[in-house]
Amino acid sequence: MADQTINVLERAGTVMTVSELILKKRNGYPLTCSDIEHLIAGYVKGTIPDYQMSALAMAIYFRGMNEEETAHLTRAMVNSGDTISLMDIPGIKTDKHSTGGVGDTTTLIVVPLVAAAGVPVAKLSGRGLGHTGGTLDKLESIPGFCAELTLNEFKTAVKKIGAAVTGQTIEMVPADKMLYALRDVTATVDSMPLIASSIMSKKLAAGADVIVLDVKVGDGAFIKDHSSAFELARIMVETGKKGGRQTAAVITNMDQPLGRAVGNALEVEEAVLTLRGEGPPDLEELCLTLGGWMLSLAGKASEHEEGKAILKKLLDNGSALLKFRELIQNQSGDPLVVEDLSLMPRAEKQVPVKSKAEGFVSSLKAEVIGQAAMKLGAGREKKDLRIDPVVGVTVEKKIGTMVKPGDILAHIHTSPEKEPARNTGIEDHERINDVQNMILSAYEFQNEPFEVPPLIIGCIK
Amino acid sequence: MADQTINVLERAGTVMTVSELILKKRNGYPLTCSDIEHLIAGYVKGTIPDYQMSALAMAIYFRGMNEEETAHLTRAMVNSGDTISLMDIPGIKTDKHSTGGVGDTTTLIVVPLVAAAGVPVAKLSGRGLGHTGGTLDKLESIPGFCAELTLNEFKTAVKKIGAAVTGQTIEMVPADKMLYALRDVTATVDSMPLIASSIMSKKLAAGADVIVLDVKVGDGAFIKDHSSAFELARIMVETGKKGGRQTAAVITNMDQPLGRAVGNALEVEEAVLTLRGEGPPDLEELCLTLGGWMLSLAGKASEHEEGKAILKKLLDNGSALLKFRELIQNQSGDPLVVEDLSLMPRAEKQVPVKSKAEGFVSSLKAEVIGQAAMKLGAGREKKDLRIDPVVGVTVEKKIGTMVKPGDILAHIHTSPEKEPARNTGIEDHERINDVQNMILSAYEFQNEPFEVPPLIIGCIK
């Protein structure tokens, strides 16, 4: 049944209809730069309807896109809206992005850490759906903190203290918002080139010269296998480079939660501890690695190991913590929290979850811990739900640790429901009981000690 | 990236969202009967939007559907609208369907032929887009003929004389209309299960007990290769059987036009000649074969060869022609046309197309001849264009024939443009010149004689 294929070949060189462009992709031919520009511009204008775009997305799911196509798609999406120019800020501006995991507190640490090295960090963050709030929700648990800067305030902050974190206030990449909403209801989310162009279009539009990506893989990430993670990392790095940015990706393990804290205020406390040099070793290691790459790509270090060493000193001598204090103060938050964590809001109850088993922790399912935190109110199940900043889970025993019956595996941080928006009709003790069982179900044990898989799986530059 | 897959498996047994059903198909799992009923009912009601249906259609294009799924889809489409019951008409009612070709005059011959054998034929036909009009347009070139019967008139006609041909007057298979319009603009037309369910839903809704399908393959058909044709035939026959109907398919060659005439009134004349036993041998052979299968499935013959023999006698003794006369008269047409073809409307000019080459005709591209007829006004390029009943092409030399320079290959039947609707601004002589060149380009020659490929390629029961 080659009729439609032949039409496409016959029409090569002439302007194709949208239907013919879908057919071209469906039949495995690459789309050209002008094909893609036409499709994205038409979709944003409303001249190309959702039903053609969703058919195209499904064809892309099956046929993929090569590096050129992915770069064209990314650029077309960037061009669909406003972009930020950071040209008037001196220095090489850096940005980081995580594909998302459970207890991912890295932004709160990496931003001040890298800025402390004299490398400007201009970070746009989101709120997002998920087990905990986004970086903005976490920062807003600091009393007074303003995470909604105007574009001008944002740029002024980066100029002044070398670091700022804010939500998006201009209309960046509307094509991505439209396309993502469509993909979400048409089973076309998990396509590598579509994921890569979605992430990279927002990074390119945000204007930084250096982009370091943290590609999470494992139980608590949306990518479950290493080869997919390396593939996505490779595509994103190529797309960033084709967009004229210094880009690298670190592929990291997300089988268990990162660090100990899963919850908004809890993660801010953990970030402060890490910036004091008292944080969980895995979280510190990842922050130094990501920051090391940022320094290296920005030319502040010859390679990322040297960057890590520079940053380690800034952790040890308190400069990074001081920069976080400065950032909080500059965005109207209470800077004293970095010295006195009791100024942070806290949950009313801490309930220990004790082990019934004995052995070495062989598995600690990040996904389940994330769901437990969400059940406590740390994340949003739906867009319009409020999060409770103080609730969450702190993990006390991570993979590889020896545990005896009665040992505390984790703490549940909970408050009785107050918000009508979160009123689920579930009694507090019932919820605590459910969450305890969830946490227990996340743990598996084995009798023999074993080598814990590495956190940093690989890097792509 | 197996996250979405896992969700589907986890949710097995519960009611799935549309997005999950798309995902299920995308990931290669078969849809259940209730999945498909839910999708089609929701689509027709408007609760499932076009953008989900087009993504699903693209997933079906890539993943296919098994026989069960195709049968479920077909039944769900039938259930989306009104259906015809022929229960109150005595006997086993028969129907035929052609997947469409160039110069396909078979319905005009098969309907009276089979009815002459005492087997009722209840035929719904269309107008359709294409090189010539549909069967209804052809019949309407007979002075006075009414091709728009009410359902009651249609059934009364079949009861009274055993044969009727009409357009669709009730709302049959609205799901197919909606889905086809969507597939047409989303590059999802050429999917075997979607084609099969589209055709078979209309046949099942039309109520006949016996369905014989003519699956065309070759240059002038939408299916270009034999294996696709056999596959489509097999799927349609299975779908018909699962719908409780006696079903068979004949796979036939459409590399060159069937018979000689391509045009509306021209094909009626050719049908009359064939019913007189004076028609082109290929057209007669195909009509006897299709009719033979109809008789056999209706139990009037032990197998289709016996059915063919019965019908050949009815051709030879004039019964079939008489039945056509009766059909025309019963639908208000001038019955005298079957005796005097000069009563049919005719084009003003017949222009011969002469060969410049010498040799045996090795190729006579049906598609190009069809386009030539369309250019003369025999078919509709767009839905709202009127057709000119008298124009067209008659082919004088078919594949395998020895031709010398100056021999007439074909005749162009043309009339100066009168209809404002067809006013193309092209002078008559220019159009004739173009059409002559098109016809010449359809012909290829070779020096040595060769065996002409058979018209009837195979049968599936």
Question: Rounded mean pLDDT of A150-158?
Answer: 95
| Facing residue for A187 by CB, picked from B26, B62, B225 | B26
**Mean of per-residue pLDDT scores for chain B:** 92
Query: What number is the average pLDDT over the span B350-355?
Result: 97
Inter-residue contact B110 to B291 (CB < 8 Å)? yes
Average pLDDT over chain A reads 92
The answer to whether the CB atoms of B187 and A228 lie below 8 A apart is no
Tokens 């380009």 belong to: B441
Least confident of A131-145, B27-41, B70-84, B407-421: B407-421
pLDDT at B397 over 80: yes
Least confident of A91-95, A185-189, B423-427: B423-427
Looking at the complex, report in whole angstroms how far the Cα of residue B17 sits from the nearest Cα belonging to chain A: 9
- Cβ distance of A59 and B187 shorter than 8 Å: yes
pLDDT digits (tens, 9 = 90+) for A32-54: 999 999 999 999 999 999 999 99
Tokens of B387: 């057709």
Chain B: residue nearest A185 by CA?
B19
Among B38, B155, B183, B413, the active-site one is: B183
Q: How far apart are CA A371 and CA A369, in angstroms?
A: 5
The residues with which A458 forms a beta bridge, in sequence order, are A251
Q: Which residue of B has its CA nearest to A367?
A: B3
> Is B59's CB within 8 Å of A182's CB?
no
Residue B434 has pLDDT above 50, yes or no: yes
Higher-scoring residue by pLDDT: B40, B1: B40
d(Cα B299, Cα B290) in Å, to the nearest integer? 14
Highest mean pLDDT among A3-12, B425-434, B435-444: B435-444
| Residue B307 reports pLDDT greater than 80 | yes
Q: What average pLDDT does range A414-431 have in this prediction? A: 69
Q: Do A1 and B51 touch (CB under 8 A)?
A: no
Which of A35, A51, A52, A179 to mutate to probe the B interface, most B CBs <10 Å? A51
- Smallest Cβ–Cβ distance between A58 and the set B1, B18, B55 belongs to B55
Asked if A52 reaches chain B (Cβ–Cβ under 8 Å), the answer is yes
Chain B partners of A222 at a C-beta cutoff of 8 Å? 1, 3
Cβ within 8 Å of A, B 333-352: none
Q: Measured between beta carbons, which residues in chain B are less than 8 angstroms from residue A58?
A: 26, 54-55, 58-59, 62
Selection from A456, A107, A102, A100 nearest residue A271 by Cα = A107
Question: Above pLDDT 90, what percent of chain A?
Answer: 86
The 10s digit of each residue's pLDDT in A284-294 is 999 999 999 99
- Chain A closest CA to B18's CA: distance in Å? 8
A132 pLDDT higher than 80: no
Q: Which residues of B touch A23 (CB under 8 A)?
A: 187
Calculate mean pLDDT across residues B226-235. 97
Nearest Cα to A107, choosing from A80, A81, A134? A134
- Render pLDDT for A310-369 as a digit per residue (tens, 0 to 9): 999 999 999 999 999 999 999 999 999 999 999 999 999 999 999 999 999 999 999 999
Please state which CATH class domain A347-446 belongs to.
Answer: alpha beta
Q: Which of A160-174, A264-278, A377-391 has the weakest average pLDDT? A: A377-391
According to the model, what pLDDT value does residue B139 have?
Answer: 96
Task: Decide the pairing of beta strands B392-395 and B408-414.
Answer: antiparallel
CB B413 within 8 A of CB B373: no
Question: What percent of chain B shows pLDDT beyond 70?
Answer: 93
Chain B CB contacts of A60 below 8 Å = none
Residue B227, min C-alpha distance to chain A (Å): 9
* Residue B51 sits at the chain A interface (C-beta within 8 Å): yes
Q: Is B185 on the interface with A (CB under 8 A)?
A: yes
The domain A2-63 having CATH identifier 1.20.970.10: the answer here is yes
The answer to whether the CB atoms of A2 and B59 lie below 8 A apart is no
Interface contacts (A, B; CB < 8 Å): 102
Are B58 and A55 a contacting pair at CB < 8 A? yes
Distance from CA of A229 to the nearest CA of B (A): 9
Give the list of residues 6+ apart from residue B208 with CB closer than 8 angstroms, or none: B86, B93, B94, B95, B122, B245
Kindly state the tokens that stand for B407: 């021999």
Please state the length of chain A.
Answer: 461
Q: Is the pLDDT of residue B130 over 80?
A: no
**A8, A186, A195, best to mutate vs chain B, most B CBs in 10 Å:** A186
State the average pLDDT over residues A148-172: 93
Domains B2-63 and B347-446 share a fold: no
For residues B365-382, average pLDDT: 90
Q: Hey, is the C-beta of A179 within 8 angstroms of any chain B C-beta?
A: no
Inter-chain residue contact A55 with B186, CB threshold 8 Å: yes
Contact A187 B22 (CB under 8 A): yes
Percent of chain A with pLDDT over 70: 93
pLDDT digits (tens, 9 = 90+) for A216-226: 999 889 899 99
Write a three-state SS string for B94-106: EEEEECCCCCCCH
Nearest CA in chain A to B225: A1
Residue A101 — very low, low, confident or very high, per pLDDT cuts 50/70/90?
A: confident
Catalytic position from the list B95, B137, B176, B209: B176
Residue type, A140: E
Neighbours of B427 (CB within 10 A): 11
Look at A55 and B50 and tell me if their CB atoms are within 8 Å: no
Q: Which residues does chain B have within 8 Å of residue A185's beta carbon, measured at their own beta carbons? A: 18-19, 51-52
Q: How many CB atoms lie within 10 A of CB A7?
A: 13
- Compute the distance between CA of residue A346 and CA of residue A141 in angstroms, rounded to an integer: 10
pLDDT of B6 reads 35
> Judged by CB atoms within 8 Å, which residues 210-239 of A form the interface with B?
222-225, 228
B2: pLDDT confidence band, cut at 50, 70 and 90? very low
Catalytic center residues of A: 97, 176, 183, 198, 202
Residue of A nearest to B57 (CA): A55
Chain-chain contact of A223 with B18 (C-beta, under 8 angstroms) = no
CB of A106 closer than 8 Å to CB of A283 = yes
Work out the minimum CA distance from A251 to partner chain B, whole angstroms.
15
Confidence band for A421, pLDDT divided at 50, 70 and 90 = very low
In angstroms, the separation between the Cα of residue B48 and the nearest Cα of chain A is 11
Across the strands, what pairs with A172? Answer: A82
| pLDDT at residue A3, rounded to an integer | 40
Contact list in A for residue B192 (CB cut-off 8 A) is 1
Handedness of CA A408, A413, A415, A421 (dihedral sign): negative
Residue B381 to chain A, least CA–CA distance (Å): 16
Write the DSSP assignment of A2-48 as a string of letters: -HHHHHHHHTTTSPPPHHHHHHHHHTTPPPPHHHHHHHHHHHHHTSS
Annotated domain spans of chain B: 2-63, 94-338, 347-446
The band of A423, judged by pLDDT with boundaries at 50, 70 and 90, is: low
Say yes or no: B20 contacts chain A, CB-CB below 8 A. Answer: yes
**Testing the interface with A: which of B31, B47, B51 to mutate, by most A Cβ within 10 A?**
B51
Q: What is the mean pLDDT of residues B344-373?
A: 96
Of the pLDDT bands very low, low, confident and very high (cuts 50, 70, 90), residue A417 is low
What is d(CA A245, CA A237) in angstroms, rounded to the nearest whole number? 9
Task: List pLDDT tens digits, range B309-335.
Answer: 999 999 999 999 999 999 999 999 999
Range A129-146 average pLDDT = 87
- pLDDT of B157 reads 96
Residue B296 has a pLDDT of 98
A54 part of contact set with chain B, CB < 8 Å: yes
Q: How far apart are CA A261 and CA A132, in angstroms?
A: 10
User: Does B47 touch chain A if contact means CB atoms closer than 8 Å?
Assistant: no
Beta strands A246-253 and A456-460, pairing class? antiparallel
Q: Tell whether the model's pLDDT for residue A151 goes beyond 80.
A: yes
Closest Cβ–Cβ partner in B49, B186, B223 for A1: B223
Question: ipTM of this model?
Answer: 0.87
A17-28 burial: b if 16+ Cβ within 10 Å, else e: ebbbbbbbbbee
Of B393 and B15, the structure prediction assigns the larger pLDDT to B393
Determine the pLDDT at residue A5.
39
Residue B23 touches chain A, beta carbons under 8 Å = yes
Q: Are the beta carbons of B57 and A55 separated by less than 8 Å?
A: yes
Question: pLDDT tens, A202-218?
Answer: 999 999 999 999 999 99
CATH assignment, A94-338: 3.40.1030.10
Q: Which pLDDT value is given to residue A14?
A: 58
| Cα distance between residue B120 and residue A308, in whole Å | 87
Of A18, A49, A188, Cβ closest to residue B55: A188
**CA separation for the pair A245, A346 (Å, rounded):** 41
Residue A127's pLDDT is 78
Q: Which residues of B touch A3 (CB under 8 A)?
A: 190, 222, 224
pLDDT confidence of A425, banded at 50, 70, 90? Answer: low
For A121, the token pair is 């960090």
